[in-house]
Amino acid sequence: MAKNYLESLLGENEQIILETHQHWFVLFSRIFVELFLIAVLLVGIFAAGTVYPQASYGLILLVAPIAGILHDVLVWRNRAYVVTNRRVLQISGVFSKDVVDSSLEKVTDVRLHQSFLGRIFDYGDVEILTASEVGNNLFRRIASPVKFKTSMLNAKENLGFDELAARPQVEVEEDIPTLIAKLDGLRKQGIITEAEFQQKKADLLAKL
């Protein structure tokens, strides 16, 4: 994913926390046949070349599988899953871009599924349940799914604190009750523990 393009999607004071892609297993599964075809063609061409010099023209046949590999790599590289301090973005497309984002405020739950091999090689599916019109977003076979989920939940927990720190003291004091109410909502949903809620609440009250 081009860094300049990703940064152009960010709002004011929005920061990238984590960027990941589908696991390299996904890429390998797509290019395996093409790699096998290239190997077969090379063996056939060099074997025939010992008898028929014209066999070297067969190298032209390699253009198609090589182009296919380049295409698959570009598609894989440009499909990114990004967590910021405000939302989760799913970006795809090499030349034309499709961007789907879920506001952290509207994320209601996160589901993680890892198979036995997924736990060994660190890949899995992450499903984001939201209260928005977009509905649920399912990210299949992404790399480092546990880290992705943790980063997203931490960003949701801290949502609003960065903006709060940058505001004048009067505005901060007015928004503290709202933030405490949000934290209480996260506690009731099980996203943060009672101890974490009490700690954040104490930190906010100390600002008054």
Q: Give the model confidence (pLDDT) of 31-80 as tens digits.
A: 999 999 999 888 887 777 665 666 667 778 888 899 999 999 999 999 99
Nearest to 121 by CA among 138, 137, 142, 148: 142
- What pLDDT shows up at residue 49? 63
pLDDT at 149 over 70: yes
Average pLDDT over residues 175-200: 79
Average pLDDT over residues 14-25: 93
Distance CA(132)–CA(103), nearest Å, equals 8
Question: Average pLDDT over the chain, rounded to whole?
Answer: 83
pLDDT at 173 over 70: no
Average pLDDT over residues 115-131: 92
pLDDT at 181 over 90: no
- What pLDDT shows up at residue 77? 93
Give the residue with greater pLDDT, 132 vs 128. 128
Beta strands in 149-199 (DSSP E): none
Residue with tokens 């209480």: 184
pLDDT at 162 over 60: no
Distance CA(134)–CA(112), nearest Å, equals 19
In percent, how much of the chain has pLDDT > 90? 39
Nearest to 149 by CA among 180, 109, 102, 178: 109
Q: Where are the alpha helices (DSSP H) in 78-144?
A: 116-121
Average pLDDT over residues 171-200: 75
Q: What is the pLDDT of residues 80-101, one digit of tens each?
A: 999 998 899 999 999 899 998 8
Nearest to 154 by CA among 203, 200, 192: 192
